[in-house]
Amino acid sequence: MKKGLLIIMSGPSGVGKGTIRDLFIDDESLKLAFSISMTTRKPRNGEIDGVHYYFATKEQFEKNIAENKFLEHAEFVGNYYGTLYDEVERLRNSGKNVLLEIEIEGAKQVMEKCPDALSIFILPPSLEELERRIRSRQSEDEETINLRLLKAQKEMNLVLHYKYAVCNNHPKLAADIVALIIKRHMEE
């Protein structure tokens, strides 16, 4: 059986990666599996452990770092986020194309370890629109929002390291473009 692709979908926090993902993840022709990350961030309203993230304590997370369990991990605005290596390999070996929806530092680590990974950067239509989207979540205090915005501005400079960049002007259109890119790479 052909090993599945490793797909990195990255971009600033609040750009709409999750919305885009929800619009193509169930397309069976793409044979996708979403890699569930581990994080020390507290669950938001409606987030379920083992579905959206594996929620962990700082101690549990650091134990996994010490045991080399992560394909990549990064600290983002005061919390750890990481991709579990075994989960990704198990899915890829079963022929699934594995989607990592991760921030830029982690994406860089994956690109270095797996140069064949298909990397896609999601761009916001503008920084003003990104700020509006982050604020509309109403889940964080002013300091955290400002940290996310500052980080986003720095992250945008890294777009040229990715194989593709897709602007999220219209989520459905962005999702269709990402799906097309994945299909094209499945044929290779």
Residues that bind ligand 5GP (CB under 6 A): 13, 17, 37, 41, 72, 74, 76, 81-83, 101-103, 105-106
CA distance 171 to 159: 19
Residue 165 Cβ vs ligand 5GP, minimum distance, rounded to whole Å = 16
Strands laid side by side in the 38-39 sheet: 54-55, 38-39, 79-84, 70-76
Q: Tell me the angle at which helices 17-24 and 171-186 cross, rounded to the nearest 10 degrees.
A: 60
Strand order from edge to edge, sheet including 6-10 = 32-34, 97-101, 6-10, 118-123, 164-167
| Closest residue to ligand 5GP using C-beta atoms | 106
* Closest to ligand 5GP by CB, 149 or 186: 149
- Looking at the Cβ atoms of 106 and 124, the one nearer to ligand 5GP is 106
Give the C-alpha separation, 67 to 18, whole Å: 29
Instruction: Give the residue with the Cβ less far from ligand 5GP, 38 or 177.
Output: 38
Q: What residue type is assigned to position 80 of the chain?
A: Y
Q: Closest separation between CB of residue 94 and ligand 5GP, Å?
A: 20
Residue 47 CB, shortest distance to ligand 5GP, in Å, is: 8
Nearer to ligand 5GP, 101 or 179 (CB): 101
